[in-house]
Structures are given as structure tokens and as C-alpha cells.
Amino acid sequence: MIRIVAAKDFTPVSAVDQSYEKERDIVLDMINQIRQHGDAALQAFTRRFDGVDLTDFRIPQHVYAAAYQQVTPQFTEALREAIQNIRRYHEAQRRQSYMLLDEHGTTLGQLIRPLQRVGVYVPGGTAAYPSTVLMNVIPAQVAGVPEIVVVTPPDKEGNVHPGVLVALQELGIQEAYRVGGAQAVAALAYGTESIRPVDKIVGPGNIYVALAKQAVFGKVSIESIAGPSDILVVADDTADPEYVAADLLSQAEHGELSQAILVTPSSRLAEQTAYALEQQLARLPRQEIAAASIRNRGAIIITSDLAEAIEMANRIAPEHLELIVEEPDPWLARIVNAGAIFVGTYSTEPVGDYFCGTNHVLPTEGTARFSSPLNVDDFLKKTSLVRYSKTALLQHGEKIIALAESEGLEAHANAVRIRLQKEDDKL
């Protein structure tokens, strides 16, 4: 079922590029409703879309304790260890302000400080992922963001997924609301009576959430709009085809537009992986989704050698890149475009989705050419600091005037000149 093609014959299949005009109109109207009517509109949308009538959106403290009874102890334990790992990995991303002095009394600095208030969107329903909470909240916490607020849609009884609740509690999140969809994004951006506005909104969601994030961008910051997930495996003859097939399917099961590609110089591996893929697909609960993904966008690309395989990978710029070859090290530096690189037989991609510590929010759809995994920097901002002394201005003032005048900006020149003149008059 998966197509096997020579490198020269491969053309990538884009995810369908719909315009979503109808959905965009709906979302823009919803945002206006929230801006005008606040909580009343939030309540109405929650009734309409989530089927539950809530007057108090804040998740009450007592439900957290109860949530632990609804998950397995293994889950809680694994979650705690994942939190430690993710925190450890992201702590290495912390940054310091810096300061430069010179002998004329000039001090220049770059202050690096956390955003003040961040909103995290956590999807509900069948896509309620505790790992989403971890991956979006922990970098913000490590950055030192003082206020982190989480929104997540309730079910028909007004409840939230217990795994999500346990994750919130383990991370010490104090402020979480049972609201979802475009209405939650609008509330975070513009505020309502019960939800104060934030400076940045992060987190995945359905098309309405994505369109709402796009619409409020500018009023607040957003991290990015995630496209369908993708994986690209570069493997040689030493790779185990069953492992490769399993890894391809781990991304294919995300959605029908997910992209799973194997690039290899080994036609043996190509054929055996295609076979293993069929075998494993048949046993998957989400086989319909995974099969559609493989059919739509999957491919096995045969290259003449590993160099060409790496070149192909750079061209595709995958979200996840697995490198399963006999001697990976010489190839590593040549992988220029990838969100995350998983090296060797045991670095299967789900290790990074859940546990090892790296972030699973990664650049999709080829944007690894210029984008990065979600990281602590996404929750920091910089401010330049200039302290210019009188000595420095007297020494350099004429140069600044020359540059300003070359651009015809006389008022810029004047701001310097007026000071030089007054100092001169004092002499």
C-alpha cells in the first residue's frame, strides 16, 4: 500500500491546503461575541459546543484529588518521572541578562525576563493529552512566568479528563478553566469577567482553535500553528524493518494527513518495511486513520546512498527524523533541517513524545528550515538597556548627527545637537 519510489521520482504530497473561509467567519464572530459579552458569551458557547451549562468556569480544587483515583498508579509514577526529565532538559535553556561597559561610561545591556501571564490550551475529548500539559507548561515554568493559566474543554457533565487534571496538579497549576474551542482562545486574548487576559497563548487544538489563535495574533503572541505531524526515518541495511514500520505508524496514527516517510539506500529494508507495515497496521486500533495517512502521504524512498538520503531529509525538513544506521555520527552534522533527531535503534520517536525530556512541540510541514522546538525562549522576552554618559555623548555625538542627517532625519540629529550645544554653552 505504501508507495516505494526512487529518489529522483519522489514528489512530496502537501497536506490539503483548505482556505477554511466558513470556519474563519464563525471564529471571528465568536471572538466578537466574547469581546462584547464576556462570560455570558462564554457560557452560551460552552452550552452549545460542549453541551454543558456552567456558571463557574474555574476548575474547583476538590476535583483534582478525585482525579488520582481515576488513573493508574503506573500512570502517575511515569508522569512524575517524565516531569523531572522534561524539567531537567529545559532548565539547561535558562538564560542570563548581560551587560557591557566601556571606558567612556557607556553601559549597554540586554535584560532577559519572563512573560508575565501565559495561557495554555489543552484539547479535550478523544485528544485529551496529559503530555500536552507537560510540554507546554514546563518550559513556561522554567522561564519563570509568574502566571500560567490553563484552559481545557469540559465534557457533557462538565468534567475534565482525569489524566489532564493529574498533570495540572503535579505541576502546581493553580488557575485552570473548563472552557475550550475558539471561545477559550478569545477569552484568553481579550479577557472576560472571570478570565483575565494573557500575553501569549500556546498549545494545540482543532481547526477552530487554530483559526482563533491566528485571529488574536498581534493582540497576544502565539507559539505557532501546528500542521499535521510527520516523521522521516533514514535507515540503512542494518535497521530492523519491524522497528522502522512501528515508528512510521506511530506518527501515521495521529491523523489522515500525517506524513510517514522512510528514506533508505537498501531495497531489502524498503520491501521488508512495507511488508511489516501491512502486518502491524492490521492490529492497530486506529488502523483506519493510520492506513489513510500511509496511503495519502506515506512513502519509501530509495536513494543511491546515505548521502543522498540525508540530502532528501534536509529537503523535506521533517518534524521527527530517526537516524537508524550502522555509524550515525558522521551523518549527524550534515542533518541541517529537522525538528528533533532520534539517533539509533532504541531512540524510537515516542521516547521524545512522552518521557526523555525533549519537547514534543516541534516544527511541522517543513518549517524546521527556520523554526525550533518549543523551548524556554518562547516564554522570555528581551529589553535593551542603554545608559549613555555625558562623556560618551560628547565624544560620539557628532557621529550620530552625521548618520541621522544622512537619512534626512533632522529631529533625530537635533535631539543630540541640543545636548551638545547646551553642554558647550556651559563651558
Q: By CB under 8 A, name the one of 44, 358, 364, 424 that touches a second copy.
A: 358
Q: By CB under 8 A, name the one of 153, 205, 228, 352 that touches a second copy.
A: 352
Report whether 206 belongs to an annotated binding site.
yes
Stretch that binds a second copy, among 7-15, 22-30, 187-195, 381-389 (CB under 8 A): 381-389
Report whether 104 belongs to an annotated binding site.
no
Amino acid letter, residue 232: L
Burial level of 218, CB count in 10 A (0-12/13-18/19+)? exposed
Residue 296 in the binding site for a second copy (CB under 8 A): no
Residues 222-261 that bind a second copy (CB under 8 A): 240, 242-243, 246-247, 249-250, 252-254
Residue 98 in the binding site for a second copy (CB under 8 A): yes
Smallest gap from residue 115 Cβ to a second copy (A): 6
C-alpha distances in angstroms, 87 versus 94, 134, 156, 217? 11, 9, 34, 28
Residue 47 CB neighbour total at 10 angstroms: 12
Residue 275 in the binding site for a second copy (CB under 8 A): no
Query: Exposure string (b/e) for 324-349, b if CB count within 10 Å is 16 or more?
Result: bbeebeebeeebebbbbbbbeeebbb
Smallest gap from residue 225 Cβ to a second copy (A): 8
Residue 163 in the binding site for a second copy (CB under 8 A): yes
CA atoms within 13 Å, Cβ hemisphere of 166? 23
Q: Is 320 a catalytic residue?
A: yes
Residue 272 in the binding site for a second copy (CB under 8 A): no
Residue 134 CB neighbour total at 10 angstroms: 23
Query: Distance (Å, rounded) from C-alpha 300 to C-alpha 310?
Result: 14
Residue 368 in the binding site for a second copy (CB under 8 A): yes
Smallest gap from residue 27 Cβ to a second copy (A): 17
Report whether 407 belongs to an annotated binding site.
yes
The conformation of residue 14, written as its DSSP 8-state character, comes to P
Q: By CB under 8 A, name the one of 131, 169, 272, 296 that touches a second copy.
A: 131
Number of residues near a second copy (by CB under 8 A): 116
Q: Is 319 a catalytic residue?
A: yes
Report whether 322 belongs to an annotated binding site.
no
* Cα 378 → chain centroid: 9
Q: Give pairs for 6-10: CB < 8 Å, separation 24+.
A: 6/301, 6/302, 7/263, 7/301, 7/302, 7/303, 7/304, 7/308, 7/309, 7/312, 10/299, 10/301, 10/312
Residue 63 in the binding site for a second copy (CB under 8 A): no
Smallest gap from residue 286 Cβ to a second copy (A): 7
Residue 387 in the binding site for a second copy (CB under 8 A): yes
Stretch that binds a second copy, among 22-30, 47-55, 74-82, 203-211 (CB under 8 A): 74-82
Counts for the chain of helices (H) and strands (E), in that order: 16, 14
Tell me the Ramachandran region of residue 86: left when phi exceeds 0, alpha when psi lies from -120 to 50, beta otherwise.
alpha
Smallest gap from residue 44 Cβ to a second copy (A): 27
Q: By CB under 8 A, name the one of 59, 370, 426, 427 that touches a second copy.
A: 370
Residue set of the binding site for Zn(2+) = 251, 254, 353, 412
Among all residues, which ones are annotated catalytic?
319-320
